[in-house]
Structure formats: C-alpha cells, structure tokens
Amino acid sequence: MTAANENLLSTPVADGAVCAPEVLMPPWVGADPFEGYGPGASMGDTIPVGSPRQGAIPDEYRNASAEELDARIEAAKATLGDRVVVLGHYYQRDEIVKHADFLGDSFQLARAAKTKPEAEAIVFCGVHFMAETADILSNPEQAVILPNLGAGCSMADMADEASVEACWAQLTNLFGTDVDGEGRQPVIPVTYMNSSAALKAFCGRNGGIVCTSSNAKAVLEWAFERGQRVLFFPDQHLGRNTAKAMGISPDDMPLWNPAKPLGGNEEQALRDSRVILWHGFCSVHRRFNVGQIEQARAEHPDVQVIVHPECPMPVVDAADAAGSTDLIRRVIEAAPAGAVFAVGTEVTMVQRMAEQHPDKTIFCLDPVVCPCSTMYRIHPGYLAWVLERLVAGEVVNQISVDRDIARDATVALERMLAAVPA
C-alpha cells in the first residue's frame, strides 16, 4: 500500500462524514498542494501573501509506504541520537506522535524547547508560530526545523503587525500614555501564543505578555495588575471566555475590527472597556455549537462535555468544563472506567484519546470529521525527509526569527513562562 493510499484510512470516518475528502489525503495529493490553507475547517480563511510555501519533496518520500517511512524515521533518529529532539503537538497525527520525544500543548512545548540545549536541531511537529517560539527560546546555536513550511495557523494570520500597530496608535491617541493613581498603564497588550513572532515582540516592547490556553487566566491577572484594560489578540473567543470566567461582563469587551476606524467602536465603549478583543478566531473550534451539546446530552445522559476555550462563548458556557488540550487530556485520563466524554477540540486528538481509553466512551462533539488542516500537513514523509537531510549534514526548512524581533519577543515570552498554568 502506498503512503498516499494508507493515509486515506488513518483517520476513521463514520458514514463518510468528513468536511472535505482532500483533508484526509497526504499533503502532496492535489494541486501544489492546496491554494489556501487547504480543505478542512480553515479552508475559507485567507492565507496571507508572503506566507512560506512548501516546495515539493523527493518522490522517494511521496511514494514510500507508511511502514517504510516509519522505519526510515526511526533509523534517522537512531543515527542522530542526542543531536536531535522531536517535539509534537497533541493535534499531530498518530504516525508523527509515535516519533515525538516530547508531546504536549503549546505551553509545554515552549518549555520543552529549552530543555535540550545540547541538541543541534529541534524538529517541531506543529505549526509555524510554535516553531518560531521554539527558535526564540532555544539556544541560538540550535536549528529549529518545521517539516512542512505550509503548516501555518489561520487564526495566527488574522492579526498582522501593521494592523495591530495601527490599532495601538488609535488607542494611544484615545487614552494617552499616562499611568493612573495605581500606576497602571491605559492598555496592556496580550497576544495569544497563536501569533507571529513580530506580535510577541510588539507585546515585549509595550509592557505586554504572551498567553496560552493553559495560562490565560494567570496572564490576564498579571495584565490587570499593570493595566486598566487589555488589548487581546488574535483569538476573541479565548479572550472573552477567560475574562468572563474572571467576572468581567461581555458588555465590557468590545470587538476590534481592524478594517474600521476605532475598530468599529464608539469612543465611550472603548473608554468603558476592560478587554478589547481582536476580531480573530479558530475555524476548527468555531465549528462547535450548542446544538451539538444538546444532542450529545440527549443521546448520552451521563455525558461530560469538555471543550477548548477557543470555542465560542455559548459553547463554553453550555459545556461542563473548558481548558487547554493538556487539561482535556488530564481530565479524561483521570476519569473512571465507563465515563462518557463529548469533546470540543481537534478531532485527531479526540480519536487518539478514544483509542487509548477503550474503557471510556470518548467522541468528538462535531459529528463531521474535520482535522486542523494545517497541523495535518506534517506528514511522515516530511518528517523522514528533514531527518534524513540532517543525517546527511544539511538543515532544511529552518525557522529563523530575526534577532531584534527575537529579543523583544523573549521579554513577553519569559513573562508568560513565569505565569504558571492553572
């Protein structure tokens, strides 16, 4: 069986219910491989001009069977030994996860990037912003490699540096720069980890901080100690859900549309605000809705619904629990045999947990199989290619953040690393 054919079967699909059949194919099937972010949940999102494109890799990888790729990855890793460390996000395919030296959520992987300073290369099986973060935090001599340069994140691309700078200029014009009686600056910028290194640097330069889904509450507390309000980008849902759980009313969280003056808001609404939310979202998590929760409860009276905080607020409100990918994993692992979970996060991770816990019933809230199409682009063919090039002494697909950007981004990332997840 070729890798292309095998891959079609790697994600179980009930009744053929998949958001787009192409999403289950290897990344080199189809046109070059896809024009935008590709089929799947983020298919409708615009890919920015100038985003890295992945060139074709040799046919020997594209035509290899799954077994051959597996053996070649193992052999290359054995040859490289401590010279390489492979990091994998929970949303990666099983065929990649099995080769990861560290598996984790984005916070854990940011930490992991600092733990093997002696390795020459960090191969990051995740998406572009995660590899950038690893490059910033790791030893300067280490090369960070993203196996497929087409693995971006459509949410991260919803906030570009020029639009955020333009927003900041308008807010500075409105609020000035003076601190209040408690020493708090008018606005603290907070960027979600899912953003470019340039935006992390922007936060570092402007008294701000980075957060992940696992420490967003601790980060907002940090920000409110230092600021009267927060500008949160790019994910409106994580910002809204986290602030609401801290007791802030959604009425005090205006949405900033970068295409409109003052983000489409009245001055007074911005003055009264506690959190200004950027108009960004994750297309994968936006698919979840309250109707799916009602259906899960009707079909499984004992079900516990657990969702990622990138889901819209009504979904998080209706769920029994919400948290990062690692929190979801821990809750399910700790549950007794017989527990039933409907999970609102990326389907590849949900299906893996279902296989790992056959004594529990675990299913994705969305009945349509829709993986994150960019995470899915890290196919074993690409992993085998980058590792074998390393064995041959060549670094391909290196992610290198500009020095000045990295210096400022480090300030915001180190503040984040100090904010321990709940």
Contact set with ligand 13P (CB under 6 A)? 105-106, 194, 212-213, 282, 310, 324-325
Instruction: Give the whole-angstrom CA distance, residue 167 versus residue 176.
Output: 13
Closest distance of CB 295 from ligand 13P, Å? 23
Instruction: Give the whole-angstrom CA distance, residue 202 versus residue 137.
Output: 16
Nearer to ligand SF4, 84 or 364 (CB): 364
Instruction: Give the whole-angstrom CA distance, residue 229 versus residue 185.
Output: 8
Closest distance of CB 375 from ligand SF4, Å? 5
Closest distance of CB 193 from ligand 13P, Å? 6
Q: Per the structure block, which two tokens stand in for 275?
A: 């959190």
409 three-class SS: helix
Nearer to ligand SF4, 44 or 176 (CB): 44
Dihedral sign (CA 229, 222, 133, 194): negative
Helix axes 197-205, 403-418, angle to 10 degrees: 70
Nearer to ligand 13P, 3 or 284 (CB): 284
Question: E-strand spans in 160-226?
Answer: 185-192, 209-211
Residue 419 binds what, of ligand 13P, ligand SF4, none (CB under 5 to 8 Å, by partner type)? none
Nearer to ligand SF4, 108 or 154 (CB): 154
Closest distance of CB 212 from ligand 13P, Å? 5
Nearer to ligand SF4, 130 or 384 (CB): 130
Residue 157 binds what, of ligand SF4, ligand 13P, none (CB under 5 to 8 Å, by partner type)? none
Give the contacts of 387 (CB within 8 A, at least 6 positions apart): 72, 73, 76, 77, 80, 84, 123
On the CB side of 219, how many CA atoms lie within 13 Å of its CA?
Answer: 32
Closest distance of CB 143 from ligand SF4, Å? 22
Give the contacts of 133 (CB within 8 A, at least 6 positions apart): 106, 110, 113, 193, 197, 200, 413
Q: Per the structure block, which two tokens stand in for 82?
A: 């401590």
Asked whether 3 and 69 are in contact (CB, 8 A), the reply is yes
Residue 105 binds what, of ligand 13P, ligand SF4, none (CB under 5 to 8 Å, by partner type)? ligand 13P
Residue 95 binds what, of ligand SF4, ligand 13P, none (CB under 5 to 8 Å, by partner type)? none
Residue 148 binds what, of ligand SF4, ligand 13P, none (CB under 5 to 8 Å, by partner type)? none
Nearer to ligand SF4, 210 or 372 (CB): 372
Q: How far, CA to CA in Å, does 90 sit from each of 9, 340, 379?
A: 19, 21, 14
Asked whether 150 and 379 are in contact (CB, 8 A), the reply is no
Query: What residue number has its CB nearest to ligand 13P?
Result: 105
Nearer to ligand SF4, 135 or 408 (CB): 135
| Contact footprint for ligand SF4 (CB under 6 A) | 42, 127, 153-155, 194, 282, 284, 346, 372, 374-375
Nearer to ligand 13P, 71 or 422 (CB): 422
Q: How far, CA to CA in Å, does 366 sit from each of 285, 286, 292, 347?
A: 10, 11, 7, 8
Nearer to ligand SF4, 155 or 276 (CB): 155
Closest distance of CB 310 from ligand 13P, Å? 5
Closest distance of CB 65 from ligand 13P, Å? 30
Closest distance of CB 396 from ligand 13P, Å? 24
Closest distance of CB 169 from ligand SF4, Å? 27
Nearer to ligand SF4, 135 or 346 (CB): 346
Q: What separation, in Å, do the N-terminal and C-terminal C-alpha atoms of the chain show?
A: 45
Residue 42 binds what, of ligand 13P, ligand SF4, none (CB under 5 to 8 Å, by partner type)? ligand SF4
Residue 366 binds what, of ligand SF4, ligand 13P, none (CB under 5 to 8 Å, by partner type)? none
Closest distance of CB 404 from ligand SF4, Å? 26
Instruction: Give the whole-angstrom CA distance, residue 246 versus residue 283.
Output: 25
Q: Are strands 143-145 and 121-125 parallel, antiparallel or unpaired?
A: parallel
Total residues found in the chain within this entry: 422
**C-alpha angle with apex 250: 244 to 255, nearest 5 degrees?**
120
Residue 138 binds what, of ligand 13P, ligand SF4, none (CB under 5 to 8 Å, by partner type)? none
